[in-house]
Amino acid sequence: MLSKKAKYGLKALIYLAKESEERPLPVSQIAESQKISVKFLEAILNDLRTGGILKSKKGKMGGYQLNVKASEIKMSDIMRLLDGPIALLPCVSLNFYDTCEECLDENNCSIRKVALQVRDATLEILGAATLEELVKNEK
Amino acid sequence: MLSKKAKYGLKALIYLAKESEERPLPVSQIAESQKISVKFLEAILNDLRTGGILKSKKGKMGGYQLNVKASEIKMSDIMRLLDGPIALLPCVSLNFYDTCEECLDENNCSIRKVALQVRDATLEILGAATLEELVKNEK
DNA sequence: TTTAATCCTATAAATCTTATAGGAGTTAAA
DNA sequence: TTTAACTCCTATAAGATTTATAGGATTAAA
């Protein structure tokens, strides 16, 4: 399940992609429009900045805006930054690979093989779902 | 990510499907073979029994065994029983449907549309991954 | 009657999620 | 040059979930 953090982040990014052409938008405005706690959203947008998806401008008239084109931001990128791994198992994660501590034989694990298929299918869909697409599909 | 509970449950079921023809196996034996805490596994197998996947025999010489054929137990069934919803959002869950509390307009949510695609793709794979298949693919 | 099981309830440690609070630093505008 | 409106950083904490552990009631075979 997506965490609230990820959902809030996604909604905020969709709002940003829709509303902002050039000027940055303050957290307070985004939070109000999406009914999100300002302080919580502040932390989320900061994570997205650290992750390279947003850029910020400090001080009065400052705020956040996209750091790259909406067509280049994948839903999988956003989810990874805010929720961590997408895969069902660490041993099939592309970006957060780790062994399963309780695994007795990784090369020969049938659960792993299924998790690999799920990962590939999921990433294909989440990769096609760019922020641009998400905005388009929001009527 | 799969929880340890789900991983343990899956491993235990694979072991049960492989080892047991007719007689039930005690939790202690399964736990030892898979290096799982006996008490924890006890709770897990009980959940699987309540969910209809396992049946149990009490008392001496008792234990757990499959309640239905391995070919009829899907990985998605097991995951639902032990970890709950498979979908990314409650609003696209088949078995645990609920509205997203923070959602302002469900019918018009582009995140939801993607989550729906992911759900369908995931369930297709997890549905094809029956316990029988999992056992086969364990070399 | 003993032994080996499941099954049930309670408790708890650890970790993760979802925040809240306060203030330091930065910048535009008055 | 002061004020107002921002981001950014750290700390704290409540609540939920995960991952167990403990003890004993109940059941059934030997």
At residue B96 the predicted structure's pLDDT band, cuts being 50, 70 and 90, is very high
Q: Give yes or no: residues B77 and B36 share one domain.
A: no
Question: What's the confidence (pLDDT) of residue A21?
Answer: 73
Determine contact, residues A96/A84, Cβ cutoff 8 Å.
yes
Question: What's the confidence (pLDDT) of residue B103?
Answer: 83
pLDDT tens for each residue of B6-57: 999 999 999 999 987 789 999 999 999 999 999 999 999 999 999 999 999 9
Search chain A and give the residue with CA nearest B136.
A110
Cβ-based burial of B65 (10 A; exposed 0-12, middle 13-18, buried ≥19):
middle
Greater confidence, B13 or B104? B13
Per the prediction, chain B carries an average pLDDT of 95
Least trusted range by pLDDT, from B47-51, B86-90, B100-104: B100-104
Q: Give yes or no: residues B90 and B60 share one domain.
A: no
Tell whether the model's pLDDT for residue B104 goes beyond 80. Answer: no
Alpha helices in chain B (DSSP H): 4-19, 27-34, 38-50, 75-83, 110-128, 131-137
pLDDT tens for each residue of B107-139: 889 999 999 999 999 999 999 999 999 999 987
Q: Is the CB of B60 under 7 A from strand C?
A: yes
Q: Give yes or no: residues B112 and B57 share one domain.
A: no
Q: Give yes or no: residues B58 and B92 share one domain.
A: no
Report, as ranges of residue numbers, the positions in chain A whose pLDDT lies below 50: none
Task: Single out the residue in A27, A47, A66 at which a domain terminates.
Answer: A66
- Single pTM value for the model: 0.95
Q: Give yes or no: residues B32 and B60 share one domain.
A: yes
Determine contact, residues B52/B65, Cβ cutoff 8 Å.
no
Q: Give yes or no: residues B55 and B77 share one domain.
A: no
The residue lying closest to nucleotide D23, measuring its CA against C1', is: B39
Q: Give yes or no: residues B10 and B59 share one domain.
A: yes
Beta-carbon separation of A111 and B34 below 8 A:
no
- For chain B, what is the domain count? 2
Q: Give yes or no: residues B11 and B54 share one domain.
A: yes
Question: What's the confidence (pLDDT) of residue B106?
Answer: 87
Percent of chain B with pLDDT strictly greater than 90:
88
Task: Single out the residue in B66, B88, B114 at which a domain terminates.
Answer: B66
Chain A interface, Cβ < 8 Å to B: 1-2, 4, 7-8, 10-11, 14, 34-36, 75, 85, 87-90, 100, 102, 104, 108-111, 113-115, 117-118, 121-122, 124-126, 129, 133-139
Q: Give yes or no: residues A122 and A107 share one domain.
A: yes
Question: What's the confidence (pLDDT) of residue B105?
Answer: 83
Mean pLDDT computed over B89-113:
92
Q: Give yes or no: residues B57 and B83 share one domain.
A: no
Q: Give yes or no: residues A91 and A60 share one domain.
A: no
Nearest CB neighbour to A122, from listed B102, B111, B121: B121
Task: Single out the residue in A20, A51, A66 at which a domain terminates.
Answer: A66
CA–C1' B136–D28 (A): 35
Beta-carbon separation of A85 and B1 below 8 A:
yes
DSSP for A73-116, written as a single string: -BHHHHHHHHH---SSSGGG-SSS----TT-S-GGG-HHHHHHH
CATH of the domain at B40: 1.10.10.10
Q: Report the greatest alpha carbon distance in chain B.
A: 58
Q: Which domain holds residue A10?
A: 4-66
